[in-house]
């Protein structure tokens, strides 16, 4: 289940007036809009707010120009019509002082709420200076103009914050507009697409103030705003439970895979066959002078197994001859460029020389000890890796499984293969059992992957 799309669908139904039923007893939004205008005039006369410069000549949209139809009790309006303040932030970057008031930057603006873990902080002096235009209050809305453009959050109780760069403070008309409803309305696909379609910037999308103030949105009656908020929260709470269950199951699947690999390299995944040639014979064919390692971690080896060091069964090659010359990657190019880290394929090249094709192989990150089994031709990003091949009679998939759950993490930035990792002791099963283990692991992983894909 794509829960992100489900959230967007719920918000889309809400903005179209299809999430909750209309109540004929509700005060129409057209009347609500007139009350908002009257209240704004009162506040202007009392000097509590300033009269804003209207962004256009017409207060309401003509019927033929509305983006979509809404219920008859709704009315189209502009964002500036239902707010008392839409204020841009200072166009400067405040330094993180480590303590004081939370500085809300665009990464701190989530989808509906502020994300204040690890937030930058500023002093009272900086707080006062940056908020001279308007001091953020509870139920105010903060809009991210870029990076990521379009995120919106409402200020909750006990959140005394300072505006960071590229943010906008929006203050709905108190008591006549539900701030949470307006937050959800601005998070809908319609609102996001409408505002971002008018954004500027070739590298970073930037929403201009001139697009925000006159933004057209459909206004429901106040009572319906409250019902919409309650219904969205109800649905989102259910989705949260689904996502948590999904995350828990993903964690369980990941742990199960690790457990399967652990059982595999300890000889507990498949039964031993007394007819298999013992691993010691295999290792002696590789090296007639071979002597099994003495390692307490593998004292209770399964029958027919033996231990050796990785370097006894693995050869390494420096990747120098396969390093890509140009990093001008393009997805249409045929040859992948690899790193042994999480990103794995970092691009594609059209270079035709120096392509590694002795497959399969294992690539090993010399600094992080990450590794990957590779079964296609490639080039590499840098020399910070080793390319590994196994000796005859050793299944490379088995070695890759061992390495995938065996990492060294040190305090210093150094290369690990020659000095430490190649010296690690690995339990080696008979060749026939290696194949049975690989088959059992892949069958189990395929079933787990099917479950993961269905989530």
pLDDT computed for residue 79 by the predictor: 96
Cα R_g (the chain), whole angstroms: 31
Tell me the residue ranges of DSSP E strands in 173-280: 216-219
The count of residues in the chain is 455
Exposed / middle / buried, residue 358 (Cβ in 10 Å: 0-12, 13-18, 19+)? exposed
**Which of 215, 223, 220 lies closest to 67 in space, CA to CA?**
215
Q: CB count, 10 Å around CB of 172?
A: 23
Segments of the chain scoring below 70 in pLDDT: 53-64, 201-204, 295-297, 410-411
pLDDT computed for residue 58 by the predictor: 47
The ranges of the chain annotated as CATH 3.90.220.20 are: 3-241, 266-438
Listed in sequence order, the residues at least 6 apart from 291 whose beta carbon sits closer than 8 Å to its beta carbon are none
Q: Under a CB-based contact definition with an 8 Å cutoff, are residues 188 and 151 in contact? A: no
Fold held by 3-241: Adenine-n6-DNA-methyltransferase TaqI; Chain A, domain 2 (3.90.220)
Q: CB count, 10 Å around CB of 260?
A: 18
pLDDT computed for residue 63 by the predictor: 59
Structure tokens at 193: 């697409």
Class for the domain spanning 266-438: alpha beta
How many Å apart are CA 39 and CA 134, to the nearest integer? 20
How many Å apart are CA 125 and CA 377, to the nearest integer? 59
How many Å apart are CA 102 and CA 155, to the nearest integer? 12
Structure tokens at 178: 């539900």
**Which of 198, 108, 106 lies closest to 159 in space, CA to CA?**
108
pLDDT computed for residue 274 by the predictor: 94
- Alpha carbon 307 to its chain's center: 41
């Amino acid at each position: 289940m794509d829960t992100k799309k489900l959230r967007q669908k719920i918000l889309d139904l809400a903005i179209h007036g299809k999430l909750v039923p209309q109540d004929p007893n509700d005060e129409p939004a057209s009347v609500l809009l007139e009350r908002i205008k009257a209240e704004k005039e009162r506040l202007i006369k009392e000097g509590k707010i300033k009269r804003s410069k209207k962004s256009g000549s017409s207060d309401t949209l003509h019927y033929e120009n509305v983006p979509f139809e809404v219920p008859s009790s709704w009315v189209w309006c502009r964002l500036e019509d239902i707010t008392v303040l839409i204020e841009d932030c200072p166009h400067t970057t405040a330094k993180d002082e480590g303590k004081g008031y939370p500085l809300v930057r665009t990464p701190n603006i989530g989808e509906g709420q502020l994300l204040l873990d690890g937030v930058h902080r500023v002093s009272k002096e900086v707080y006062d200076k940056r908020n001279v235009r308007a001091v953020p209050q509870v139920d105010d809305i903060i809009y991210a103009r870029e990076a990521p453009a379009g995120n919106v959050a409402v200020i909750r109780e006990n959140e005394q914050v300072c505006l960071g760069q590229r943010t906008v403070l929006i203050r709905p008309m108190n008591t006549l507009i539900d701030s949470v409803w307006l937050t959800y309305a601005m998070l809908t696909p319609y609102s996001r697409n409408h505002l971002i379609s008018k954004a500027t910037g070739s590298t970073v999308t930037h929403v201009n103030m001139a697009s925000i103030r006159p933004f057209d949105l459909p206004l429901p009656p106040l009572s319906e705003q409250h019902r919409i908020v309650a219904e969205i929260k109800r649905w989102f709470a259910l989705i949260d439970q689904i996502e948590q269950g999904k995350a828990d199951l993903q964690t369980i699947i990941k742990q199960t895979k690790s457990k399967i690999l652990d059982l595999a390299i300890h000889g507990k995944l498949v039964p031993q066959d007394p007819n298999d040639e013992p691993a010691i014979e295999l290792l002696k064919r590789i090296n007639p002078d071979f002597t099994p390692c003495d390692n307490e971690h593998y004292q209770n080896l399964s029958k027919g197994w033996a231990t050796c060091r990785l370097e006894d069964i693995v050869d390494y090659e420096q990747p120098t001859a396969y390093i890509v010359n140009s990093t001008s990657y393009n997805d249409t190019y045929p040859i992948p460029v690899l790193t042994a880290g999480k990103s794995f394929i970092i691009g594609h090249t059209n270079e035709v020389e120096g392509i590694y094709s002795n497959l399969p192989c294992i690539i090993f990150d010399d600094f992080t000890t990450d590794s990957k089994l590779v079964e296609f031709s490639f080039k590499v990003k840098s020399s910070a890796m080793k390319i590994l091949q196994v000796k005859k009679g050793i299944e490379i998939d088995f070695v890759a499984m061992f390495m995938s759950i065996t990492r060294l993490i040190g305090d210093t930035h150094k290369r690990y293969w020659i000095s430490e990792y190649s010296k690690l002791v690995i339990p080696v099963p008979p060749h026939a059992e290696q194949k049975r283990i690989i088959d059992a692991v892949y069958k189990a992983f395929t079933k787990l992957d099917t479950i993961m894909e269905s989530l």
